[in-house]
Amino acid sequence: MTELIRQSRLPVAFILLLLAYFLVQSLSFSAFKSGADIDTTELMMYNQFWSLGYWGSQPPLYNWLTHLAADIFGTSVFVYAAVKFMLLFLAFACVYLSARELGFRTGPAIASTLGIFAVPEIAWEAQRALSHSAAVNAFCAMSLFAFVRLRNHRRIADYGFFGLAAAAAVLSKYNGVLFVAALLLAALTIGSFSRPIRDRKIVVSAVVFGAAILPHLLWVLANLDIVFHRQIKFGIGDGIASAGDRLSAFLSWAGSTVLTSAVVMVAVGAAFVVDRFRGRAWTVEIGDASRLLVCLILIFQLVLLGMLLVFGATRMENRWLQPVLLILPLTVLALFGSGPRPASSEEPIGNPGLTRTFSVLGLVVMAVTLVALPVSETVMGRIKGNETHYAYDVLLNELETRLSGPVGTVVSNESDVFGNILLYEPGIGFYNDNLVRAGHPVQAPAVLMWSGHGDVPGHLSAVARELGFTGNDSRVFRSSMPVNGNERTVDYSYIVREETDR
């Protein structure tokens, strides 16, 4: 009875541990910073308005979530950090729930979740720098959980939940499309998972999914130039991909695949060697759960490779793999067993050696990242003098003194620097040249800003003329703001226009 009580409390304790970890990370990542990073400042700029889509290469769901949180709790570095880390918590929690739904006992299910910390792309990079990736990780994991539930729960609400989760994955980041498609294609090859798809109630999922993504899809079709204007960052050119481009795409894909999964594979190898030394045999579990997960990863990878080759992208980003990296430890635990499987059981029994390895490694990485990540971001950020430590209050005070009152609008293409002014005065309009051309109102008094003490940069010259800014030396003000905790200063220049609104 004591063991049964302990086992029933363990899942709750584990979920609370994860929640506490990500809450602490939210606080430590936002403490001691005077500004936000480049992704967050871009979000703050776009979150001045609601839209079905935004400039950039990402769908709008993460913008909507951060916008809603900022409207409720106020604009701050902590609020934006909390949204990201709570989404990461949701991703980890849904992997655990998926494992349980697939038949894993509590110990292996926890190990499959802690094993995610053996993926540096998630344990380090997703926490340190990325934004939309947190959302796609969360909702891809939720899609997996919602779908595997359909094997045993086929109420209309369950199908609606899967449709909504799949739509959220697609609206978080476009590689969510690959994950959902790979999940369904993999399920069609496996009897117990194909039955929910053949059920007539799958129409409910399709209707919910279609209704949720249709508004953004219509926006995409009407704004293809906006959606694809950053294709250069993927190494995609305008012409037909050459053999060299395809080779570069393949090598980039292969390198990312090996690099991002290396720590997990090393951990598996170490566990195998130890078990072999102790005389413990491993078996390969070819059950429905392992087949689904393996096929999902393979299909995702092959479709991604095919897209890279077709479009001639010469560069692949490691973060595109995060949705399947999230379930890599779960897949390994489903695939490798220890000892014979009971003849009457089709559920994954887990591997004790791997369970211990993933659990210990995950807990160690959690402890290390609790210290190392905040130190890296805060201490090293101050030493390097990056944009998260600029004295933006000095900048705002300078502008208000120059204008003898509040600032109406700041126009700049450097949201990573000057966009942080929104943390100190959310009522200011802050737009880049694309948003100005899109018709967002430039309220007087307006300020055109750029880094350095040179002339108006070429990328701002056209919008400067359009808005009536004159750039003669008598109208250009040049100043500097300090960097907190660093002797460095940041030079900037600006022109003031105090006439009526455009």
Domain spans of the chain, in order of start: 51-233+244-379, 390-497
pLDDT at 211 over 60: yes
Do the beta carbons of residue 362 and residue 9 sit within 8 Å?
Answer: no
What confidence category does residue 458 fall into, taking pLDDT thresholds of 50, 70 and 90? Answer: confident
Q: What number is the average pLDDT over the span 147-164?
A: 96
Do the beta carbons of residue 82 and residue 72 sit within 8 Å?
Answer: no
289 Cβ partners below 8 Å, 6+ apart? 102, 103, 334, 347, 348
At residue 344, the pLDDT reads 46
At residue 484, the pLDDT reads 83
What confidence category does residue 283 fall into, taking pLDDT thresholds of 50, 70 and 90? Answer: confident
What confidence category does residue 3 fall into, taking pLDDT thresholds of 50, 70 and 90? Answer: very low
At residue 349, the pLDDT reads 58
pLDDT at 475 over 90: no
Q: What is the DSSP string of 122-144?
A: IIIIIHHT-SHHHHHHHHHHHHH
Model confidence over 363-390: pLDDT tens digits?
Answer: 999 999 999 988 887 777 777 778 888 9
At residue 479, the pLDDT reads 93
Q: What number is the average pLDDT over the span 153-172?
A: 97
Beta bridge partners of 496: 447
What confidence category does residue 472 fall into, taking pLDDT thresholds of 50, 70 and 90? Answer: low
Model confidence over 414-425: pLDDT tens digits?
Answer: 988 888 999 999
**pTM summary value:** 0.92
Reported as type and span, the H/E element at residue 437 is helix 433-437
Do the beta carbons of residue 498 and residue 452 sit within 8 Å?
Answer: no
Task: Read off φ and ψ for residue 233, nearest 5 degrees.
Answer: -70, -15
What confidence category does residue 249 fall into, taking pLDDT thresholds of 50, 70 and 90? Answer: confident
Question: Is the pLDDT higher at 486 or at 499?
Answer: 486
CA 229 vs. chain centroid, Å, equals 20
From the list 258, 3, 187, 15, the residue with the least C-alpha distance to 113 is 15
pLDDT at 265 over 50: yes
How big is the chain, counted in residues?
A: 502
pLDDT at 231 over 60: no
Q: What number is the average pLDDT over the span 134-138?
A: 97
Q: What number is the average pLDDT over the span 229-247?
A: 63
Q: What number is the average pLDDT over the span 458-479?
A: 81
Mean pLDDT over each residue of the chain, to the nearest integer: 88
What confidence category does residue 30 fall into, taking pLDDT thresholds of 50, 70 and 90? Answer: confident
Q: What number is the average pLDDT over the span 234-243?
A: 57
Q: What number is the average pLDDT over the span 273-301?
A: 90
Q: What number is the average pLDDT over the span 462-470?
A: 84
Query: Rounded to 10 degrees, what is the CA torsion of 146, 151, 156, 161?
Result: 0
Decide: residue 279, CB within 10 A, 0-12 exposed, 13-18 middle, 19+ buried.
exposed
pLDDT at 111 over 90: yes
Between CA 218 and CA 208 the distance in angstroms is 16
Q: What number is the average pLDDT over the span 163-175?
A: 97
Q: What number is the average pLDDT over the span 34-58?
A: 89
